[in-house]
Structure 1
Amino acid sequence: MAWLYLVLAGLLEIGWSVGLKYSEGLTRLVPSMVTAVCITISVTLLGIALRTLPLGTGYAVWVGIGAAGTAIAGVILFDDPLTAARIACIGLIVAGVAGLKIVA
């Protein structure tokens, strides 16, 4: 169950990162509120997952899901450049997250 909480926390990290962009520096009310809710739930779920998962593994997986997912969301939603180097780097993040899951 801890892994499910951790994955959901990571997905919400993507949500708050995207919300932060839409909030335009926390100057738009609704995106700012969505961002705050996503942050709160994400960190809460991370804390629940860390009750049983090792700290380093849990935190790294949470950040990895957020980082890779946010990079992909940036490409899809904000026309961030998608280069071979970016794809390779996202792949390395995913590989690291998978590796940590395997050894945990």
Structure 2
Amino acid sequence: MSWLLLFVAGLLEAGWVIGLKQSESLTKLPYVAFAALSMLLSLVLFAQAIQKIPVAHAYIIWVGVGVIAMSVINALFFAEPIVKSHYFFYGLILAGVIGLKFS
């Protein structure tokens, strides 16, 4: 269960960054509210996950999931390209996450 909480926390980390980007320097309040809620939920879930997962591993996974989620969101909704080499490096992040889970 802790791993699922950590994964969702990573997705929410991407959510608050996207919310900040869309808020246009905190001028669009719905996006600010979305960012703040995503940030709060991400931190709460992260705090719960580190009760059972070593904090160093949890932090790496939290950030890694957030980075990959941000890249996918940016590619799908903001027309930012993902070049072929990115897939390789995202795969390395994913392999690291899986390795930490099973080690």
Q: Which moved more, 1:35-44 or 1:90-99?
A: 90-99
Which TM-score applies when normalising by structure 1? Answer: 0.91
Which TM-score applies when normalising by structure 2? Answer: 0.92
Q: Output one character per residue of 1:21-80: Cα deviation in whole Å (capped at 9) or x when no partner.
A: 211222211001100000001011100110111011111111110011111111111111
- Aligned CA RMSD, in angstroms, stands at 1.1
Deviating above 3 A after TM superposition, structure 1's stretches of 4 or more consecutive aligned residues are: none
* 2:94 alignment partner in structure 1: 94
Query: Gaps (5+ residues) in structure 2?
Result: none
* 2:63 alignment partner in structure 1: 63
Q: Where does 1:1-104 land on structure 2 (aligned, <5 Å)?
A: 1-103=1-103
Residues 6 and 46, structure 2, Cα contact 8 Å, conserved in 1? yes
Residues 49 and 58, structure 1, Cα contact 8 Å, conserved in 2? yes
Amino-acid identity (%): 39
Residues 2 and 49, structure 1, Cα contact 8 Å, conserved in 2? yes
Residues 71 and 82, structure 2, Cα contact 8 Å, conserved in 1? no
- Post-superposition offset of 1:14: 1.7
CA distance in 2, matches of 1:102, 1:92: 15
CA distance in 1, matches of 2:88, 2:28: 34
